[in-house]
Amino acid sequence: MKPSPKLLSPDNHALVLIDFEGQMAFATKSISMNELRNNVAVICGASKIFNVPTIVTTVAEESFSGPVFPEIEEAYPMATSGYIDRTTMNTWEDEAAYKAIVGTQKQKLVFAGLWTGVCIVGPALSALEENYDVYVITDACGDVSDEAHERAIQRMIHAGVKPMTSIQYILELQRDWARQETYVAVTDLMKKYGGSYGLGIQYSHKMIQH
């Protein structure tokens, strides 16, 4: 009855959030901004609930790209979390970001960010070269076109990256609804950001009360 070691758990990985900023979002066309923001809220909320080491990195925040999404700021405020601002398009090539990521001492790394074909492909492939187990939350990434996003995901999968979705991420961490210590927080988060699945949870909770 042992779960696969290939599954994510709260204590076996770090989450890296890359360039979720206005200037990057303005040109993102492969996913609607409402859907992207909801998915980002899900993964940020999940990492917070399960105490997953989470690194937020930006590119030229003050001079070009602007502030991070409100959903990230809510879960990981700049004042207390500290974001790592870079000049490099590849997070892996920034010394401070690299040290922060490897400093988590997690062999599994989960990436999400903008844009898929540049700011996610770079660190994902670089981490693979250093023998990390790499996951990308594909519906919490976006690019300037469907083609750009899909080719980037395809390229990473061919290299060995494991794709997953935002709801898959949070449910893989929860894993068992009998885990009451996180049950309420997870279901509340899904009610707020989980679309029709969240409505289903709200419906079932309400109907059970009758």
Catalytic residue among 119, 121, 140, 141: 119
- Residues 80-110: b if buried by 16+ CB within 10 A, e if exposed: eeebbbbebbbbbebeebbebbeebebebbb
Query: Cα angle at 148 between 147 and 150, to 5 degrees?
Result: 65
Owner of token pair 């960010």: 113
Q: Minimal CA–CA distance to 5: which of 108, 103, 104?
A: 108
What residue type is assigned to position 154 of the chain?
A: Q
119 is a catalytic site residue: yes
- Cα–Cα separations (whole angstroms), residue 28 to 23, 35, 148: 9, 12, 10
Q: 137 exposed, middle or buried (CB, 10 Å; 0-12, 13-18, 19+)?
A: buried
As annotated, the active-site residues are: 119
